[in-house]
Chains A and B, each alone.
Chain A
Amino acid sequence: MIQKQKDHASLADDFNKDEDRVGWHDDTLWWIREKRDKIAWQVPDWELLRDAASNIKDHVLSNLNPYLLQFEANAIANGITVHWAADAAEHNQIVLDILREKEITKLVKSKSMLTEECHLNDFLGENGVDVIDSDLGERIVQLAEESPSHIVLPCIHKKKEEIGELFHKHLGTPEGNSDPQLLTEAARHHLRETFLSRKATVTGINFAVAETGEFVICTNEGNADMGAHLADVHIACMGIEKIIPDRKDLGVFLRLLARSATGQPITTYSSHFKKPRQGQEMHIILVDNGRTKQLGREDFRNSLKCIRCGACMNTCPVYRRSGGHSYHYAITGPIGAILAPNLDMEKYADLPFASTLCGSCTNVCPVKIDIHQQLYKWRQVIVQNGYAPKAKELSMKMMAFTLSSPFVYHTAGKMGRAVLKYAPFTLNNKFNPWYKQRDLPEVPEASFGEWYKKNRNKNEQ
């Protein structure tokens, strides 16, 4: 895989080769978006809840230093070991050090987008630690040697027939069988053995409560709990922005999270871990990895309020038709496109452009992040810093030149209409991607300017 990273547009092109799959992907995600609407509208004061969540998160970000200290002190008092990691490398090393000290070489991991962001699995693999992902969707992409394409629904891009094939190869299910019930049952048995035999587990954290030092993990499958309650060592990883002030704030966030994510009233399990169980070792790793930098960027600070529900991608017309892998970053979709450039503006310069700026993401965000406005702002920052794609830079310069001179503008308009009328093949050919799935409207005889001039004269006569 030593090749230049393809950008969003060309990765989306790859995804769009299979039109049926694009349609299916689009419909599936829109169906989840509709489920979200249906359940959200059943909650009186849904908008008040979003306001409350947004305000609590704003407050946390404005007072993060004291809250981190308070959380750390309480977690330590509860018997948890707290670690701090400045970046992904340090986070991964801390996990490895804990495992090495216990001579543990096998790990079971539940869903954590942070560990995806840090590429923990690759790092541990290179260092002789075997990792099994226990969330069914994550296990599927792991077996397929892919990355999750959605933060809540990791294998939303996969057809059940492909999963059936994978399970036949790796778990010995009958060839050609792709019944979800049967495949899930096979995974249940396979992962039960894993839970029972692994001495260490890594989990993510949904919410960390400063007031009490406890943390909350939400799953539907129960995989985080199965891992944590059977392992001798539990390592829980969180970005520093996951803090909330008080236990009662959970009432606001737990009402919003699952409704926004999948249209469920709540996840099956919302587990509150306060102390290690008797004889167990519990670690929390607090990770920065660019978050303090984002905190200092006034225009983009809001992105740290994200609770990782995925509603913005389910509703996004671009994400639904380009697939999660086109974002080439751990967090996909609109929210990923405003988080990624903070880490590496050059590498992810294409992502803020992967949007129509329609604002649907902003409308569904449970913590009211102004996602589409941040996408727009990132575009400006990226162009100012010279990271815009060359073709885009050139066309923008041409446009600026054309728009800044009335003469050039009118002449260009006339020429354009003439070309479309008399020589459409110069534009409508296979080299112009615009025409791949669409046509231009019929060319008008005159521009609005010309029409107005003519008709105004008529009226005045």
Chain B
Amino acid sequence: MANGIKKIETKMSSRTQILAAVLANQPGILPKPAFHPFSPGGEKDLEVFVKTATGIGSTVHFLGGMEEVKALITQKFATGRIISPIAELSEIAELDFAELDAHTLEDVELGVFIAHFGVAENSALWVTEDLLGKRVSPFICQHLMLVVNKNNILQNMHQAYDKIGTANYDFGTFIAGPSKTADIEQSLVLGAHGPRSLAIVVLA
């Protein structure tokens, strides 16, 4: 018990000590700079998005609707476990995986999710926990497919955060390409710990 109290005291004192030292040592306040008006968006955002995405190892598919997505999946992934929260894919994918223990997703071959939007300059797609069912799902699957509406391609990260605004997500992530590493002599290898491939579906 005494030990417990002592521990709390130490914690309090470090906090107090650090905050006091910061206050004493921080220089006179410099104003937060006004945000620079960076170059405005281009008309070729979608074109740039596709070029960037394929440049970092993603594939891009222009499709007309979920029926076509279904056909693409059946063609590319004949066997293996597929998860997706997208209702239209119920015939080929598990929809109710969100209730499962995260570890049981270990053998998922393909995960298919909707992305809020994509960013042209780096081909990153923004997804949040509510679109993923489980946080681990876009990381643990062997292959990943993200579906984005053609009208939701933004130019750069400033526009991305303008769009996110004050959205109240619990977890969100930008995903750009398949997981990768170049730690061994700078040789690029796709499929480090996460998906080995990323297929981006751009819906017209």
Task: State in angstroms the CA–CA spacing of A63 and B7 once bound together.
Answer: 29
Task: Say if the beta carbon of A376 comes within 8 Å of chain B.
Answer: no
Does A184 contact B181, Cβ atoms closer than 8 Å? yes
Q: Are A184 and B184 in contact (CB under 8 A)?
A: yes
Q: Which residues of A contact B32 (CB under 8 A)?
A: 55-56, 59, 245
B31 touches A220 (CB 8 A): no
- Is B180 a contact partner of A221 (Cβ separation < 8 A)? yes
A to B contact number (C-beta, < 8 Å): 239
B103 touches A (CB below 8 Å)? yes
Closest to A137 in B: B183
Contact B26 A269 (CB under 8 A): no
Q: Find chain B residues with CB under 8 A from A247 CB.
A: 161, 164, 166
Cα–Cα, bound, A68→B27 (Å): 15
For residue A75, CB closer than 8 A to chain B, the reply is no
**Which residues of chain B (122-164) have a CB below 8 Å from chain A?**
122-124, 129, 134-136, 139-140, 156-158, 160-162, 164
State whether the Cβ of A353 lies closer than 8 Å to any Cβ in chain B: no
Q: Specify which chain A residues have a CB less than 8 angstroms from the CB of B161 in the assembled complex.
A: 247-248, 250-251
- For residue A273, CB closer than 8 A to chain B, the reply is yes
Report, as a range, how many residues of chain B touch the other chain: 35 or more
Residue in contact with A296 in the complex, picked from B15, B25, B121, B157, CB distance below 8 Å: B25
Smallest Cβ-Cβ distance to B168: which chain A residue: A274
Chain B residues closer than 8 Å to A254, beta-carbon distance: 157, 174
Mark A131-144 against chain B: 1 for CB-CB distance below 8 A, else 0.
Answer: 00011110010000
B185/A229 in contact, CB under 8 A:
no
Question: A417: CB under 8 A from chain B?
Answer: no
Which residue of chain B is the closest to A193 with respect to CB atoms?
B106
Judge whether B186 is part of the interface by a CB distance below 8 angstroms. Answer: yes
Say yes or no for B1: interface residue by CB 8 A criterion. no
Contact B33–A55 (Cβ < 8 Å): yes
What is the CA–CA distance of A160 and B24 in the complex, to the nearest angstrom?
49
Instruction: Give the A-binding residues of B (Cβ under 8 A).
Output: 7, 10-11, 14-15, 17-19, 21-33, 35-36, 38-39, 52, 56, 102-103, 106, 121-124, 129, 134-136, 139-140, 156-158, 160-162, 164, 166, 169-187, 189, 191-195
Cross-chain pairs A/B with CB under 8 angstroms, 13 sampled = A51-B36, A62-B28, A136-B181, A156-B186, A184-B189, A184-B192, A220-B182, A221-B180, A226-B194, A250-B157, A275-B170, A292-B25, A293-B21
